[in-house]
């Protein structure tokens, strides 16, 4: 998530594909149709909305994968399929 109060040190990495319709959001995780990690959740991403969890102070993530799983997979991927949001 882009932060306006901090200088960016690296380019943002887009998620491939088309964003979901805000009128007709897919079931489960809204990102699962274009998330390269969705197949690693055993189908959970297609049926259940992931809970929003704080992984660092002020950094929230909603993903069915654990932080360790995401870190492990991130080394082999070019874009993240996790939803991240800074506190509002």
Residue 2 resides in a domain: no
Residue 6 resides in a domain: no
Angle at 36 between CA 32 and CA 37, to 5 degrees: 75
In this prediction the pTM is 0.63
Distances from the Cα of 18 to the Cαs of 15, 30, 44, 53, in angstroms? 9, 11, 21, 25
> Could you tell me the residue range of the domain that residue 71 belongs to?
32-86
What's the number of domains the chain is made of?
1
Residue-by-residue pLDDT tens, the chain, 88 positions: 566 677 777 777 777 888 878 898 889 998 899 888 899 999 999 999 999 988 888 888 899 998 888 888 876 543 444 444 433 3
CA 74 and chain centroid, separation? 11
Q: What's the confidence (pLDDT) of residue 72?
A: 86
């Amino acid at each position: 998530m882009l932060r306006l109060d901090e200088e960016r040190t690296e380019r943002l990495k887009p998620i491939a594909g088309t964003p979901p319709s805000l009128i007709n959001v897919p079931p489960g995780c809204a990102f699962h149709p274009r998330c390269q990690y969705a197949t690693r959740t055993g189908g959970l991403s297609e049926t259940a909305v992931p809970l929003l969890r704080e992984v660092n102070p002020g950094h929230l993530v909603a993903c069915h994968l654990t932080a360790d799983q995401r870190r492990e997979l991130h080394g082999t991927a070019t874009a993240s399929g996790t939803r991240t949001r800074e506190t509002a």
